[in-house]
């Protein structure tokens, strides 16, 4: 009987580890996707500004110099600006960026709660572990249901950040540098 009990505890611990890993991946993907959206939004806003300046300058230059080339440059820039403006009419990258950040902030807390559950696992009763696991699953489901979708590129970047760069983890040396001298190991 003890063997089955130990086996169940191992399976339960592994399930919690797996859930923790999924939350870490989703958190990292959301952060990366938010960063990509922010960069895209900033780039497109600067493009709008530059196109607006060139098209206005082109038309004003035409009035002053009467050169047809400036009219063409201004017209082309104005058309591209119209396309960008139409894109932003239906797409609010700032709002989408904020949703991804909000989701990542919620996932950060759940990630930490899963980590605490793994840390406390040996000191809790099985019933306490199961209850906390079930509560966390419900909380994660709520966040996932409201979360904006990411894309494959963000997931691939998160995968690389976690597997190759170990972006969510610290070496002991890195931790020591973050701690005051008196707390270092």
Q: Reply yes or no on whether the pLDDT at 103 is more than 90.
A: yes
Distance CA 183, CA 185 (A): 7
Nearest to 27, CA basis, from 93, 133, 131, 115 = 115
| 63 vs 7, residue with greater confidence | 7
The C-alpha atoms of residue 52 and residue 75 are separated, in whole angstroms, by 11
Predicted confidence at residue 1, as pLDDT, reads 47
Q: Is the pTM of this model over 0.85?
A: no
For residue 138, the model assigns a pLDDT of 97
């Amino acid at each position: 009987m003890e063997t089955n009990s130990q086996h169940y505890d191992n399976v339960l611990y592994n399930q919690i580890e797996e859930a923790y890993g999924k939350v870490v991946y989703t958190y990292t993907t959301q952060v990366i996707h938010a960063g990509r959206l922010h960069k895209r939004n900033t780039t497109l806003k600067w493009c709008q500004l530059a196109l607006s300046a060139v098209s206005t300058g082109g038309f004003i230059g035409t009035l002053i110099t009467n050169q047809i080339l400036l009219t063409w440059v201004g017209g082309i820039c104005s058309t591209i600006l119209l396309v960008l403006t139409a894109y932003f009419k239906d797409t609010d990258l700032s709002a989408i960026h904020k949703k991804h950040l909000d989701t990542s902030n919620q996932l950060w807390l759940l990630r930490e709660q899963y980590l605490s559950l793994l840390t406390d696992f040996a000191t809790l009763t099985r019933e306490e572990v199961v209850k906390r696991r079930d509560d966390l699953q419900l909380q994660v489901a709520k966040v996932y249901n409201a979360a904006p979708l990411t894309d494959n590129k963000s997931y691939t970047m998160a995968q690389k950040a976690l597997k190759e760069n170990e972006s969510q983890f610290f070496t002991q040396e890195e931790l020591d540098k973050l701690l005051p001298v008196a707390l270092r190991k």
